Structure 1
Amino acid sequence: MAEPTERTPAAAPQADGVSEAAASPPAASTARGFRFLGEDKSVHKALGGGKTADVLLWKDKKVSAAVIGGATVIWLLFQVVEYNFLPLVSHVLIGALAVVFLWSKGTAFINKSPPDIPQVQISEELAANIVKVLRTDINQAFGLLREIALGHDLMKFLGVIVALWILSEIGSLCDFLTLIYAAALMLHTVPILYHKYQDKVDHFAGKAHVELRKQYAVLDAKVLSKIPRGPVRAEKQE
């Protein structure tokens, strides 16, 4: 009689494969460490998505270049040429209106249709959405300031103090227009650089975050825990 075929060795690799798959989770579900924007939030989504995020991430290169170019021209006119705001706006409007007026009148002599100038109006829905967004942001800022003023969160208090101090130091080194121009350049460079080198930045930021938490724990144990805090709100006690 023929000996029965041994199937144990053939089944072993399959069992090993199943055990390995069960032991090691998929790559997509593994922890990715410290993330500035959270585990499942992209840079595009963090910037609000839509057209604004496309411009800041240079997905629409023409619009992004136009924004940077326009900001550079405005900064040069005010800082280098030393134009004042009202004269600049008046001269630009005078030139634009003169060109359009002569263009419209000139078409009558060459038998061509006048320029099609669209009628620009701000819709009620757009105005309401802008006010709604501003209202939400302002209320959140007021809520944060209230929490800090009541002494509920010392970490936020220290963070705001440091941020305001840094802002005051930057403001003492340059004027407001230069600060706005620098902010515009950063908005068009930092997000795209972070998007490109996100893993490396988050890796080093994670190490810095761990070290800061250690230092804060020491500071809290020696100093902050001894400072009397404001009363805790009723909803937190519940």
Structure 2
Amino acid sequence: MSETSVYNALGGGAVADTLLWRKCYSGVILLIGSTLMWVLFEKAGYNFLAFLTNASLLLAFILFFWAKSASLLNRPLPPIPDLDISEETVIAVADEARVWVNSALATLHEIAVDGNLKTLFSAMFGLWLISYIGSFFNFLTLIYIGVLLSLSVPFLYERFQSQVDEKLIVVHKNMSIVFKKVDLILQKISMSQKKQKKTE
């Protein structure tokens, strides 16, 4: 079995370098920044909107006085880039959002129109799992846990890929047997429902 590169699976580039700790500087910045934000908002009880407005106010104040002092002292102006979002970026984001929305609508169609029990139970299980996990944490803590997992799981998987893959193959075989049995039960239930509709 050929092992795929974790670096290529993550898309390569700066994101993969950060998640696999190949550029320790960016990984450390992400870890420290997310930890500070979590402590600030979760433990210190600081309000996100208040933080955003105060940070923007401070930034505007600094930039204003930098620009005024630069004109008086013949110094360069603040290095503010052109803050324009390109049309290509907007189209790419809209295309990605369209794929997700269409997938959700297709799932809804399978449940509501086609009466697909397998899709219904899959959606119910997924939503229940999200709700169950969400009952233990608030949204900010869940995001912070996601950041910690994204900085640790790819790194550890790359180190122990062959051992993890062996275990995952065994789990996949067992889960496919279970899912086949569940699928057969759901097919029998849907066939009995169709027979009942025909007899009525």
TM-score interval, smaller chain: 0.7 to 0.9
Equivalent residues in 2 for 1:105-184, closer than 5 Å: 105-108=68-71, 110-149=73-112, 150-152=114-116, 154=118, 156-184=119-147
Other-structure match for 2:189: 227
What's the TM-score, normalizing by structure 1? 0.68
C-alpha displacement of 1:107? 3.4
Pick from 145, 148, 155: which aligns with 1:185? 148
Other-structure match for 1:235: none
Other-structure match for 1:27: none
When residues 160 and 43 of structure 1 are mapped into structure 2, their CA distance, relative to the original with a 3 A threshold, is farther
Other-structure match for 2:168: 205
Aligned mates of 2:13, 2:96 — CA distance in 1: 15
When residues 146 and 130 of structure 1 are mapped into structure 2, their CA distance, relative to the original with a 3 A threshold, is same
1:62 counterpart = 2:20: no
C-alpha displacement of 1:49? 4.0
C-alpha displacement of 1:220? 4.5
Pick from 45, 48, 51: which aligns with 1:82? 45
Q: Which has the larger radius of gyration?
A: 1
When residues 160 and 57 of structure 1 are mapped into structure 2, their CA distance, relative to the original with a 3 A threshold, is farther
C-alpha displacement of 1:206? 1.0
Supply the AA of the counterpart residue of 2:79.
D
What's the TM-score, normalizing by structure 2? 0.79
Aligned mates of 1:158, 1:67 — CA distance in 2: 37
Supply the AA of the counterpart residue of 2:160.
Y
C-alpha displacement of 1:204? 0.7
Aligned mates of 1:157, 1:45 — CA distance in 2: 34
Give the secondary structure class of the aligned counterpart of 1:115.
coil
Aligned mates of 2:50, 2:133 — CA distance in 1: 28
Percentage of matched positions with identical amino acids: 34
* Structure 1 segments unaligned to the other structure (5+ residues): 1-31, 33-38, 232-238
C-alpha displacement of 1:171? 1.0
Give the secondary structure class of the aligned counterpart of 1:114.
coil
Supply the AA of the counterpart residue of 1:57.
L
When residues 216 and 130 of structure 1 are mapped into structure 2, their CA distance, relative to the original with a 3 A threshold, is closer
Aligned mates of 2:187, 2:173 — CA distance in 1: 20
* Structure 2 segments unaligned to the other structure (5+ residues): 195-200
1:102 counterpart = 2:65: yes
C-alpha displacement of 1:63? 2.5
Q: CA RMSD in A?
A: 2.7
Other-structure match for 1:47: 10
When residues 146 and 62 of structure 1 are mapped into structure 2, their CA distance, relative to the original with a 3 A threshold, is farther
